[in-house]
Structure 1
Amino acid sequence: MTNGSRDAWRDERPAPAWLGDVAAGVEAWTQGAAPSTGEPDRERSSGKRSRSGGSSSARGGRRASPPPDDPARLGPEADPESVARTILLDQLTGRARSRRELADKLASREVPDDVAARLLDRFEEVGLVDDAAFTRLWVSARGAGTSRGLARRALASELRRKGVADEVVRDALEEVEDDDEHATATALVERRLRSLQRVDDATAARRLVGMLARKGYPAGLCHRVVREVLAEARRDVPDDL
C-alpha cells in the first residue's frame, strides 16, 4: 500500500467515540481498552484463531487479566491525622462525648495510638473535649428533675462506663442534693401509679419499689417514697413495705 493509499485509508476510518473528551480517552487507555471506533472488533467477533491454531476459548477459556492499578490514578493514602480529626468532629456533632468514648472510636477505626493521643490532647486544649463539662451535662440531662430521673448511683455507674475519672464524677454528683432526689423519686412514683389503677396495692407497691431501685435509688428511700405516695393516693400500704 502506497503512502497516499494509507493516508486515504486513515481518512476513511470513523473517529473514536471518545475523540474530544480527554477524560474519556484517558480512561479508555488506562483501562487497557482500545478506543472504540464504532465498529465491532473483527478479531473477537470472527473468533479469529491464534498463532497456535486455537481460539481464546479453546485455550481453556481464560480471559486476559485486567491491567494492574495505576498508583498515580489511585492517589496518595489518606493522612492518619486528617482521618482522626474528621472522625472526632463527626462524633462531637450533636452532643458532647467523653475522652474515652472518642478514643475507643478512633481505635475502632484503626487510628494509630500516638496520632489519637495527640489529636485528643489538642481537642482538650481548645475545649472540644472536656470530661468535667461532659459529666455536668450528663447529670443535668438524666438526673434529678428530668424525665429519666436517675439517682446519683445510676449516674455514677453510667459515667464510669464511659471512662470518666472517679473524682470528676464525684465533683459533678456533689451538686445533686438529697431533697432533689426525694422530689424526683416522688414525681416518678406518682406518674407510674396512674398506670397501676387496676393493680392491687401490694403488686403496685412492689412494682414501684422495683422501678426506683432500677434507677439507682437506695432501698430506704424507695420504700419511704412509695409509702408516702400510696398513702396520699388513699391506697393501702403493705405491712412489709
Structure 2
Amino acid sequence: MATNTVVGNLICSDGTNIPLKLDLVEGTETNLTTDVAYTVTAANVGDFAPGKTVVGGLVSCDTGVGYSFILSQGLVAAIIPWSIKGAVTDGQPALCQPYTLKAGDIVRCMSQTAADRGATAAVYTARGVSRIFHVTPSGGATNELVDLQTGNSIGDTLQGDRIVKWYGTSVDGALIETQGFYAVDALGNVIGSCSATDPATQQPAFAMASVPIQLNFKFQFLTNA
C-alpha cells in the first residue's frame, strides 16, 4: 500500500500547540507522532507533553481518512476531529471535553485511499465516554457500525448511557439510502440520525444529540451497492 503524509495539531489550554506529522501506510491504523520539524524528535503526545490539557485539534489526511483519537491505557480517551486536506474549514475544532495527557498516551490514526468505503461514527456520551464505531460496506446491504476496539454493537457498548454529541464520515454519498447513520432500538425503530459526511468535500463536525442507548440497540445504514 502507498503512504500518505498525515498532519495534525493539538491545542492545549495553556496555549501550547503540539504539531503532528508522519507518513502513514494507507489502510493501517498507526501511531501519529509529533512533527520533527518543530519538535526535534518524533514522540508520542503523552511523552512529549505529559500534564498538558488538550482542548482542541485536528488531524488531516491526503486522500481518505478513517478516524483519529487519543489512546490511553487501551481506551479511546478523546476523539480528535479528522478531515481531508483541502476541505478544512476549522483548523482547531474543540474536543468534546478537555483531556489531560498522560505519559504513554498516543494518537492513533487510520489513513485510507480515496476509494476506501470505510465508514466511521464518533460518539460522545452523557457519562463522558468517547467511542468510535466503524464498518466497511461491500455492496447493497444494511451495514452495522460496531465498536472499533471490541467489535460489539452500540447497545452492548453504551447500554444505559446517552449520546450527546456525534458525527459520521463516509465516501458513499448517494449509495447511502438512509438519512446518514441510524441508531435503532431493539424493535428496529429509528431513535436517532447521525450525519454521514464525505470528508473529501466537507469537514465533518460534531452535532448535538440526545439518544439513549439500551441493550440490543444497533447503529446502521443502508447502501444500494
Specify the TM-score bucket, using the shorter chain as the normaliser: under 0.3
TM-score for the superposition, normalised by structure 2: 0.22
**Structure with bigger RCO (C-alpha 8 Å, 6+ apart):** 2
Higher Rg of the two aligned structures: 1
Task: Give the structure with the higher percent strand.
Answer: 2
The structure that is helix-richer by fraction is 1
